[in-house]
């Protein structure tokens, strides 16, 4: 089966060739195209590229063996709010869970290899580590040219609010293009399962930095620790007096911008500190009281699989999604919208009651589908209800109507987690300055 076979189940966001838009899952299609043209797997092509650059320690997700964790790959950590401690993510399935969307979020690398990767792009001459040209410079140049504008809501650091300008203005072919202190900046950021990486290149000064952490992030592109450390590194490369110090690096974006509760705690695509659970207050929407078991059932999406919703003897609703994701559903103040909680192995990975399941119905009558905001924002996928039996046994019902939705995967990007340290929030930093 083609690696991109399930893409056909994603709703069309725009007419074909009508506009450009970033989408993680489109890279599945791009990989399939290269395989059809080249007659070899995408994995083999990428390994060949890495070998020519000298990236001997870089592997692909499809090559990972579970025993590598702890021996070759740094274990990721989460933060337990109850114990106020960092805890390791010990479930070995975390290592291979992104393989289904290779080539996106599928490259695992080291600090040494990422230095070689940055040097290759800063030279931009298409030569391998032996000095032989294997990529045309004019082809490389196309990777850095802007294609589409960045979304309007993209967070940026700009004067006069901040002491410097650090912007993300456009998407290129695999890079984010912006400026840092007036210099062109090529950047990329990726994250998966509490691995968070940021890379920034300044081609005009032949310098760049890459930082990867294996601990929980601070939710936005400008406040993630890896981004903050890269920003400090660029100040050093440009021989500037860093505007960040030991205090402001931890408080950023304060003191320049007040950081309210919603900005501090809510991850992108989540429901801002809601609509919180009101079960403890003993107040329930009328339609919840009337149709409590209407949400129970088996929901299916052609690309993302199935979600089962069950009602426990104590009346609680619980969901199961795939092999690993499960938890309780907490009612919100809005009928048909439930807040997700997370059980092991994701208990400390994602914050409870920030993501929602939005059931589609008319005041809790004849639930027909559920929109899963956990999987994408703003265009989350919609799962169609196939059965009132959570095990998926069919029941004779009319074909459910699905409300139109728009699938977007913006924000999900390729990541190259760092090998090395096994301590919480470990950081690997790489500088490259051309000597020629």
Q: What is the pLDDT of residues 400-415, one digit of tens each?
A: 333 333 333 333 333 3
Residue 178 sits at the vertex; the CA angle it makes with 174 and 180, to the nearest 5 degrees, is 130
| Burial state string for 336-370 with b = 16 or more CB within 10 A and e = fewer than 16 | bbbbbbbeebbbbbbbebbbbbbbbbeebeebbbb
**Is residue 106 within 8 Å of residue 98, measured between CB atoms?**
yes
Rounded Cα gap, residues 42 and 382, in angstroms:
30
Share of the chain above pLDDT 90, in %: 34
Architecture per CATH, domain 279-387, reads as Beta Barrel (2.40)
Report pTM. Answer: 0.77
In this prediction, residue 355 has a pLDDT band, given cuts at 50, 70 and 90, of: confident
**Is residue 196 within 8 Å of residue 173, measured between CB atoms?**
no
**Is residue 150 within 8 Å of residue 164, measured between CB atoms?**
no
Q: What is the pLDDT of residues 71-111, one digit of tens each?
A: 677 888 888 777 788 888 877 777 777 777 788 778 888 89
Q: What is the pLDDT of residues 159-191, one digit of tens each?
A: 999 999 999 999 998 899 999 999 999 999 887
**Is residue 122 within 8 Å of residue 432, measured between CB atoms?**
yes
In this prediction, residue 397 has a pLDDT band, given cuts at 50, 70 and 90, of: very low
Give the pLDDT mean for 103-132. 90
Kindly tell me if the per-residue pLDDT of 416 is higher than 70. no
More confident residue, 98 or 419: 98
Share of the chain above pLDDT 70, in %: 77
DSSP element (H, E) containing 432: strand 427-433
Rounded Cα gap, residues 303 and 130, in angstroms:
43
pLDDT score of 69: 61
Where exactly are the structural domains of the chain? 5-267+412-433, 279-387
Q: For residue 119, what is the DSSP state?
A: H
Of 3, 18, 187, 173, the closest CA to residue 99 belongs to 3
The residues with which 331 forms a beta bridge, in sequence order, are: 338
Rounded Cα gap, residues 243 and 228, in angstroms:
11
pLDDT score of 84: 80
Rounded Cα gap, residues 58 and 384, in angstroms:
40
DSSP symbols for 243-306: S--TTHHHHTTTTTS---HHHHHPPTTSPPS-S---GGGT---HHHHH-GGGG-EEEEETTTEE
More confident residue, 205 or 9: 205
Residue 289, C-beta contacts closer than 8 angstroms, at least 6 positions apart: none
Domain 5-267+412-433, classified CATH 3.40.710.10, yes or no: yes
Residue 16, C-beta contacts closer than 8 angstroms, at least 6 positions apart: none
**Is residue 248 within 8 Å of residue 255, measured between CB atoms?**
yes
Neighbours of 130 (CB within 10 A): 8
pLDDT score of 177: 96
Sign (positive or negative) of CA dihedral 93, 116, 197, 83: positive
**What is the residue-averaged pLDDT of the chain?**
78
Kindly tell me if the per-residue pLDDT of 4 is higher than 70. yes
Give the pLDDT mean for 318-326. 90
Question: What is the length of the chain?
Answer: 436
Kindly tell me if the per-residue pLDDT of 279 is higher than 60. no
């Amino acid at each position: 089966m083609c690696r991109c076979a399930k893409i056909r189940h994603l709703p069309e966001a725009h007419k074909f060739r009508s506009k450009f838009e970033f989408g993680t899952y489109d890279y599945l299609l791009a990989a399939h195209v290269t395989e059809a043209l080249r007659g070899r797997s995408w994995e083999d092509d990428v390994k060949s590229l890495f070998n020519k650059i000298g990236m001997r320690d870089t592997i692909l997700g499809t090559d990972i063996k579970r025993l590598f964790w702890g021996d070759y790959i740094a274990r990721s950590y989460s933060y337990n709010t109850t114990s106020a401690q960092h805890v390791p993510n010990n479930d070995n399935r975390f290592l291979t869970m992104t393989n289904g969307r290779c080539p996106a979020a599928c490259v695992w690398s080291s600090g040494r290899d990422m230095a070689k990767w940055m040097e290759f792009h800063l030279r931009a001459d298409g030569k391998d580590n032996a000095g032989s040209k294997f990529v045309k410079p004019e082809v490389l140049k196309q990777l850095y040219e802007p294609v589409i504008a960045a979304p309007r809501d993209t967070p940026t650091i700009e004067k006069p609010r901040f002491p410097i300008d650090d912007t993300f203005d456009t998407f290129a072919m695999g890079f984010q293009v912006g400026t840092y202190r007036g210099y062109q900046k090529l950047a990329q950021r990726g994250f998966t399962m509490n691995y968070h990486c940021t890379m920034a290149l300044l081609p005009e000064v032949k310098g760049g930095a890459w930082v990867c952490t294996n601990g929980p992030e601070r939710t936005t592109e400008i406040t993630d620790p890896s981004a903050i450390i890269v920003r400090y590194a660029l100040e050093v490369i440009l021989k500037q007096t860093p505007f960040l110090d030991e205090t402001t690096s931890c408080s950023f974006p304060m003191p320049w911008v007040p950081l309210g509760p919603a900005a501090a705690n809510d991850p992108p695509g989540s429901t801002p500190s809601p609509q919180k659970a009101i079960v403890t207050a003993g107040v329930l929407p009328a339609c919840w009281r009337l149709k409590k078991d209407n949400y129970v059932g088996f929901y299916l999406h052609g690309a993302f699989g199935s979600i089962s919703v069950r009602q426990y003897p104590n009346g609680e609703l619980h969901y199961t999604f795939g092999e690993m994701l499960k938890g309780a559903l907490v009612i919100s103040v809005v009928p048909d919208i439930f807040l997700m909680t997370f059980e092991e192995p994701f208990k400390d990975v994602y914050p409870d009651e920030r993501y929602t399941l939005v059931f589609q119905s008319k005041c809790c009558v004849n639930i027909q589908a559920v929109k899963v905001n956990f999987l994408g924002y703003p265009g989350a996928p919609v799962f169609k209800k196939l059965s009132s039996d959570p095990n998926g046994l069919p029941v004779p019902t009319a074909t459910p109507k699905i409300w139109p939705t728009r699938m977007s995967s913006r924000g999900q990007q390729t990541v190259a987690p760092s090998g090395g340290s096994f301590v919480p929030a470990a950081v690997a930093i790489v500088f490259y300055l051309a000597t020629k």
